Amino acid sequence: MPTALDGDPTWLGDLPLNVIDDNGVAWIVTSTGGWSGGAATTQQVVQRQSDHGGYASGSWLTPKPLTPAVTIQAPTAALRDTAVEALKAAASLTATTMRVQEAGYDRTRTVQRQGEPLVTKYGTSAEVSLSLVAADPRLYSATGYTGSCGLPSVIGGLTFPAAFPLVFDATVSSGQIPVANIGTVGSRPMLRITGPCVTPVVTLQDPDGSVQQLIYNGTLQALDYLDLDCDRHTAIINGTASRRGLLTVAGGWPQIPPRADVTTAALYFNANSTTGAPILTASWYDAWE
């Protein structure tokens, strides 16, 4: 069992850092390489002709470069080299998760190797500097949220003729999923609608009363499911075929605003008709810039 060292607990993929491992090798993060800083933006400003000021373009976050540095202190040169190779392998060519537990925050980014790992060896120790990039620069909570609901309905209740004392045993489905985001930028949920239903509609109502709405202009059968990725802006039915052409986006793709809480923001589920019990399932994370 690794022994924790001082510093923020950190993982690169499955590799724990800021620990002494079972072989007595110390993995010391000397820099997280810009982890807590924000990303640059795409904004450009063009000077107004023959006038003061300028015109600003739209502003979007750019991919986030990260240059974490790790000191490896090992009992032997062989263990040092094994650790160096393990760290280089953890800085994968494909997407992997980097996680840092800071005071008050436990957050992740999806990263992959961008530049050459720089390794300096001395004695039984080594200094390793990694060059990573997060194509999505946002930070996400390590723990996500899920919720589900059916269509709005009332089942059961009082049946006449009735005898006293009356018993009201109706079951109510609100058709909504309360959502929250304690972060500083919008969080884009993953949505799944499971049939059967005709023309299902998902609506996000923000705390300010504005709405974003996705309308699927088609029919989902009893075994069908439609995945709506509010970040990638895709609509995939049954995990195989795109249905983006049947989707109407009104007011933008749903994005849970920063600082929203469950008392002020919700996803609402409706449909034109159904012959069963369709379900809306949502998953999301807190998000930071």
**CATH number where 117 lies:** 2.40.30.200
3-state DSSP assignment of residue 18: coil
Largest interatomic CA distance in the chain? 90
CATH of residue 156's domain is 2.60.120.860
User: Measured between alpha carbons, how far is residue 26 from residues 101, 123, 237 in Å?
Assistant: 18, 14, 48
What's the number of domains the chain is made of? 2
The dihedral sign for the CA sequence 76, 79, 85, 89: negative
How confident is the prediction along the chain (289 residues), in pLDDT tens digits per residue?
Answer: 889 999 999 999 999 999 999 999 999 999 999 998 888 888 889 999 989 999 988 888 999 999 999 999 999 999 999 999 999 999 999 999 999 999 989 999 999 999 999 999 999 999 999 999 999 999 999 999 999 999 987 444 445 454 555 444 434 456 999 999 999 999 999 999 999 999 999 999 888 888 999 999 999 999 999 999 999 999 999 999 999 999 999 999 999 999 999 998 999 999 998 889 999 999 999 999 8
Domain shared by 269 and 209, yes or no: yes
Domain shared by 98 and 220, yes or no: no
Q: Residue 30: left (phi > 0), alpha (psi -120 to 50), or beta?
A: alpha
Domain end residue (candidates: 137, 155, 179): 137
- Which domain range does residue 73 map to? 3-35+62-137
Domain shared by 105 and 213, yes or no: no
